Every structure is written in C-alpha cells, then in structure tokens.
Amino acid sequence: MFEGMTPQPMTFRGVTRDVYVGGSGPPVVLMHEIPGLHPGVVALGERLVARGFRVWMPSMFGTPGRSVSVGYDVREIGRACVSKEFTVWALGRSSPIVQWLRELARHAHEEQGLPVGALGMCLTGGFALAMAVDDFLAAPVLTQPSCPFPLTPARARAIDASEEEIDRVVARGVCVLGLRFTADRAVPAARFEFLRERLGDRFEAIEIPSGFGTGLPPWSHSVLGVDFVDEDGHPTVAALDRVVGFFEEQLR
C-alpha cells in the first residue's frame, strides 16, 4: 500500500491535509472517490507513477488505505453531504475545497515548473473542471463525475462548476476528458451532453457500454477504481490507456 508514495502534510488556505506524493515526470493531482484513498485509488496512483508521472494524491476524507465496504461508503457519503467543503446538491457552484486543491496544483506546478494534470473521481469528478480556470492546469480528467446528484432533470444536465468557471475553461481552449459507464445512473448521459454543448470538440468522452447484453453489470460506476479490471482487452484498461495518452499529449 502506497508503495513509493510518501505522505507530506501540506497547508493551504489555513487547512492542513496529508498528500501522498511519488514518481517523477509531469505532475498529476489525483483526487480520490468515496469513501477515501482506498486500495483501488492507490493502485491507480501507482499505475500513473509507473507510466512516468509525478502523482500528488491528497487525502480529503476517509481513512487512507482502508478497503471499501457498504457501511464505510454510506458513512463517508453522509459526511460529504453535510460538510461545508463539498457541494453535492447545488446548481452552478463548485465545492469550496476546490480552492484548496487549486493551491495544491499551483504548488506542484511551481515545484516542477511544468503544466499540471488533474483527475477527479465520482464526488470529486467535477473538481478537475473547476480547477482548469488556472493557466497551469492543462489536462482535466473527469472520471464518473457524480455531482450535483442527478435527482432532477436540471441536476442531470449540470456539473459542479460555476458558469464563470466553465466560461473560463472554454475561453482557455482547454481539452477535457470524461469517463462513464453508460448505465450509471449517478452519471447520466445528459451530463455528458451538457459538457459537449458547453465545451464543443474540446470535450472527449469515453462511455463504456454497461448493463444488459454488454457483459458489464448495470451498477458499474468507478471506471478506474473499484470497477477497474486489470485484464488485457478489458474496456477499463483501454480507458486508462487513453487517460495516460491524454496526459502525455497535454503535459509533455
């Protein structure tokens, strides 16, 4: 667990969090999904390190290294829903914690003098888009972006970033990569249609068929985490290869 990655306490905006850092090469801020820095997310970080990137992996909630379970998931979702740092329901807003993450990305950029990539997952999926307002953030990847929770049509056709943030990303001409399973109710097709409308051909979508007749269960959600299958020919492996290629194109 965390092989080759060292925890470093980092303080931005008066808040200190442990950030696991490892590897060399272009910097990538990897933001974990619910319930925390579980073994699947850590394995993703290690894969990115092995592919030639320096990974900055902050612990934002949960217990680093703890395995996923239903009870653990429910507890951390509940905490996120009531936390002032996370916006899971509201329209037209990014979460306050994005400001802290932008400072972390700035630190990585200034330390290495290179453009930065960002990869958000599930609850943090849209964070990478909101972070791309900064000139040094060159490669945002939105993996199953689940907020705002799509309980209404308006929320399904939205992402947890403000109009001003999206306008800034559009004005910058930043390329954005999104990943989802097609039957995933937490990340409806309408959300990716909204991103296509706003970002145009700058938005690249990887939508992996799931559900009846596809060989993948309809509850598949975490493309590069819990539901990643490290087998040749598996669509999640192809998705990871494209993420690596995207980072290569935008950061090197």
> At residue 1, does pLDDT exceed 80?
no
| SS3 letters across 158-201 | CCCCCHHHHHHHHHHCCCEEEEEECCCCCCCHHHHHHHHHHHHH
Q: What is the pLDDT of residue 3?
A: 80
> Could you give all domains of the chain from N- to C-terminal order, each with its CATH number?
6-251 (3.40.50.1820)
> At residue 231, does pLDDT exceed 90?
yes
pLDDT band for position 161 (50/70/90)?
Answer: very high
Give the Cβ contact number of residue 227 at 10 Å. 19
Supply 252's token pair: 């090197």
pTM reported for the whole predicted model: 0.96
Q: Is 26 exposed, middle or buried (0-12, 13-18, 19+ CB in 10 A)?
A: buried
Q: Nearest CA to 111 among 196, 10, 43?
A: 10
pLDDT digits (tens, 9 = 90+) for 14-58: 999 999 999 999 999 999 999 999 999 999 999 999 999 999 999
> At residue 207, does pLDDT exceed 70?
yes
238: enclosing H helix or E strand = helix 235-251
Give the Cβ contact number of residue 252 at 10 Å. 11
Burial pattern 4-19, b for ≥16 Cβ within 10 A else e, equals ebeeeebebeeeebbb
pLDDT digits (tens, 9 = 90+) for 184-195: 999 999 999 999
Contact in structure between 160 and 130 (CB atoms under 8 Å) = yes
Q: What is the pLDDT of residue 87?
A: 86
Count the helices and strands in the chain (H runs, E runs): 8, 8
pLDDT band for position 153 (50/70/90)?
Answer: very high
CA atoms within 13 A on the CB side of 91: 10
